[in-house]
A = this chain, B = another copy of it.
Amino acid sequence: MITKTECCTIKSEDIEDAIVLEGSPGVGLIGNIIGWLLVEDLKMKEIGYIESKYFPPLAVLYKGVAIHPFRIYEGDGIVLFLSDFIVPPNVVYDMTGAIVDWMDKNNSKELITFNSMVVREKSQATAAAGNTENATKRLEDMGLPILPFGNINGLSGTLLTQCASKNIPASCLFAEILNPYPDPRAAAEVVDILNKMLDTTIDPEPLLQEAQEIESRLKKLAETVQSEPESPIYM
């Protein structure tokens, strides 16, 4: 199926009744780190990609094969929208529209997106927020601390409000991070919550074990990201 808006095109298989996850890089790279872990752990299959002339020109190497920088995966009834670059702000509104249209046509059950929260000290608890009072209540009932006030930017923010307009429940999980660098440990904590929400047994161990190694590798990349807002990033 092809879903088009003015500035981007989704070319993807149709997956009915899925839970949709979105993992695009933000501060801390949480969504991107979780996304790659899920692809590996759930052995997800690539079912499509998003194309746009407004994306940075970029291919991503995965096991020596060049793949699209914004891919769509599926596994166990879960659909994952995974990008390896920061979606340019002027594309976000339109792309969100394309993703939510895809979900609407495919009768997706709900959306889960990831974000981060810079804190002075970690409380060891992943905060959450929903896109309706019911969605938020459900998260509260799961024992998650609710983030009452604040701003949610990027794809996360527009996905929450546009899903609400189509009556699709959506949640955002906020990893606690101490600084703007990629943080696989914080991502691992979010994975624990995700396992509860999805009733999965995704193993966050790779993130914890490789944390140090990943941290040093990503730190260099993150510095590039900081200094050049529009440039592609890769884990």
Contacts and interface: CB of A to CB of B under 8 A. Distances in A.
Copies of this subunit: 5
Nearest to A115: B234
Interface string A156-194: 111011001000001010000000000000000000000
A152 interface: yes
Given A67-B161, A224-B233, A149 B62 contact: yes
Binding site secondary structure of chain A: mixed
Interface in A90-147: 90, 92-94, 96, 117, 129-133, 135-136, 139-140, 146-147
A196 interface: no
A82 interface: no
B153 A58 contact: yes
Interface in A47-62: 49, 51-53, 55-62
A123 B42 CA distance: 36
A228 to B, nearest CB: 7
Contacts of A153: 56-59, 232-234
A155 interface: yes
A41 B13 CA distance: 47
Contact of A66 (B61, B96, B129): B129
A63 B150 CA distance: 10
Residue of A52, A133, A146, A161 most packed against chain B (CB within 10 A): A161
A148 B232 contact: no
A3 interface: no
B57 A133 contact: no
Residue of A56, A154, A224 most packed against chain B (CB within 10 A): A56
Contacts of A208: none
21 contacts: A49-B161, A56-B89, A58-B151, A58-B157, A59-B152, A61-B152, A63-B148, A63-B149, A64-B140, A64-B146, A64-B148, A65-B130, A66-B130, A66-B152, A117-B235, A149-B235, A150-B235, A151-B232, A151-B234, A224-B233, A234-B235
| Leading 3 A-B pairs by shortest Cβ distance | A150-B235, A153-B232, A59-B157
